[in-house]
């Protein structure tokens, strides 16, 4: 018995912002962004929130799967940009869709959030603790960017993707996960400082924004992700040649090209949407998966690899049969 993805959904904010538009508000160029990252535009939340996008993506995934709210026993949202510190985005999704029987919680694994959620759902299902799970990756990263930091803010976008996971004879075959907290400084955003009547902290409270050492993150991804993918493939008894698609976290086209080269696989097996979406952290993989699913690019029996990587540092790869 295994757990399989049986439906997908996604939501992107209405407002698309091109590189040319960014040229007007900061010292950057379309050429710099495109040549360094492949990104041409991103969607930015104006009316939307992490909650609203998660709920919409979840509803679309349930409709695609033919799943009812009553049958969902587990809701996991991977996010670092929830609307509330608490309750969790997952509890808000539960309430909005009326999944009364579900246990719901968020996980913070940054850009690996959807992969980690999927792996957790796989374990719940295999352990008999749930039959049907909803896994969402959702981010409103635009609110966490320092829009004066051109080296970081141009890379990210907002959106949400979701998948319904069910107990099935075949599905997720293997996975690999890893974390290296000692390298957390490469990509971080601080939460509230400790401030209470018992602390001598006169500093005015201000919210932090995302900080990134781009080159460190780049090196980490290119080294770690192919290793994780090869390990997951080895565990599944699968060769890279047998994989139809490698659906990777959409951080940067140069990272994806370098990973394809290391795996010795043609770039056409690595679908991308980063050109129009940018990096949506936990949302990247499920949004791309949903696009592919709705275009009919995923056929029953196809062998697929999913991989995520990002802040933590964290990484994960899963081999599955569609």
Catalytic hit among 19, 249, 252, 277: 249
Compute the distance between CA of residue 235 and CA of residue 245 in angstroms, rounded to an integer: 18
DSSP string, 41-102: EEE--SS--HHHHHHHHHHHHHHHHT--GGG--EEEEE-S--S-SSS-HHHHHHHHHT-TT-
Instruction: Provide, rounded to whole angstroms, the least separation between the CB of residue 212 and ligand COA.
Output: 6
Interaction of residue 215 with ligand COA, rule CB under 6 A: yes
- In contact, 206 and 38? CB cutoff 8 Å: no
Token output for 137: 């990756």
Q: How far is the CB of 109 from ligand COA (least distance, A)?
A: 11
- In whole angstroms, what is the distance from residue 151 CA to residue 232 CA? 33
Q: Does 151 bind ligand COA (CB under 6 A)?
A: yes
Q: Which of 32, 105, 188, 209 binds ligand COA (CB under 6 A)?
A: 32
Say whether residue 28 binds ligand COA (CB under 6 A): yes
Whether 279 sits among the annotated catalytic residues: the reply is yes
Q: Which is nearer to ligand COA, 87 or 214 (CB)?
A: 214
Does 209 interact with ligand COA (rule: CB under 6 A)? Answer: no
What is the distance between the alpha carbons of residues 123 and 109, in angstroms, rounded to a whole number?
17
Angle at 302 between CA 297 and CA 306, to 5 degrees: 85
In whole angstroms, what separates CA 270 from the centre of its chain?
16
CA distance 322 to 172: 8
* Residue 36 in contact with ligand COA, rule: CB under 6 A: yes
Other C-beta atoms closer than 10 Å to the C-beta of 86 total 7
Residue 252 is a catalytic residue: no
Binding to ligand COA by residue 24, rule CB under 6 A? no
Query: Which residue in 271, 310, 312, 316 binds ligand COA (CB under 6 A)?
Result: 310
Q: Which of 91, 111, 189, 277 is catalytic?
A: 111
Min CB(39)–ligand COA separation in Å: 9
Beta bridge partners of residue 76, listed in sequence order = 105, 135
With respect to ligand COA, which residue has the nearer C-beta, 62 or 255? Answer: 255
Residues 104-143, interacting with ligand COA (CB under 6 A): 111
Is 153 known to be catalytic?
no
Measured in whole angstroms, the distance separating CA 256 from the mean position of its chain's CA atoms is: 15
Query: Is 185 an interacting residue with respect to ligand COA (CB under 6 A)?
Result: no
Residue 313: is the preceding peptide bond cis (ω within 30°)? yes
Binding span for ligand COA by CB under 6 A among 136-144, 226-234, 247-255, 293-301: 247-255
Q: Give the end-to-end CA distance of the chain in Å, rounded to a whole number.
A: 15
Which residue stretch of 53-61, 151-159, 269-277, 295-303 sits at the interface with ligand COA (rule: CB under 6 A)? 151-159
Q: Does the protein bind ligand COA through residue 284 (CB under 6 A)?
A: no
Residues binding ligand COA (CB under 6 A)? 28, 32-33, 36-37, 111, 150-151, 154-155, 212, 214-215, 217-218, 251-252, 255, 279, 310
Catalytic residues: 111, 249, 279
């Amino acid at each position: 018995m295994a757990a399989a993805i049986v439906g997908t959904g996604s939501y992107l904010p209405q407002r698309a912002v091109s590189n040319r538009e960014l040229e007007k508000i900061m010292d950057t160029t379309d050429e710099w962004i495109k040549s360094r990252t492949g990104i041409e535009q991103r969607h930015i939340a104006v009316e939307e929130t992490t909650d609203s996008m998660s709920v919409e993506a979840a509803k679309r995934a349930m409709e695609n799967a033919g799943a009812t709210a009553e049958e969902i026993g587990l809701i996991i949202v991977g996010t670092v940009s929830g609307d509330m510190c608490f309750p969790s985005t997952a509890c808000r999704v539960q309430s909005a869709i009326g999944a009364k029987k579900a246990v719901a919680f968020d996980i913070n694994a940054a850009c690996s959030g959807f992969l980690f959620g999927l792996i957790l759902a796989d374990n719940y299902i295999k352990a008999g603790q749930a039959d049907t799970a909803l896994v969402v990756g959702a981010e409103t990263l635009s609110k966490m960017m320092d829009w004066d930091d051109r080296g970081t803010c141009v890379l990210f976008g907002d959106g949400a993707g979701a998948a319904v996971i069910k107990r099935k004879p075949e599905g997720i075959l293997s996975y690999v996960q890893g974390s290296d907290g000692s390298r957390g400084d490469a990509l971080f955003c601080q939460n509230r400082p400790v401030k209470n009547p018992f602390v001598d902290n006169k500093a005015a409270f201000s919210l932090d924004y995302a900080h990134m050492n781009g080159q460190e993150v780049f090196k980490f991804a290119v080294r770690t992700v192919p290793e994780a993918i090869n390990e997951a493939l080895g565990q599944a008894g699968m060769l890279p040649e047998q994989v139809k698609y490698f659906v990777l976290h959409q951080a940067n086209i140069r990272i994806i090209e370098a990973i394809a080269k290391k795996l010795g696989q043609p770039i056409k097996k690595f679908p991308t949407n980063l050109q129009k979406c940018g990096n949506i952290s936990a949302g990247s993989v499920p949004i791309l998966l949903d696009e592919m699913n709705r275009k009919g690019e995923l056929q029953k029996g196809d062998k697929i690899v999913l991989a995520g990587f990002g802040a933590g540092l964290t990484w994960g790869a899963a081999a599955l049969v569609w």
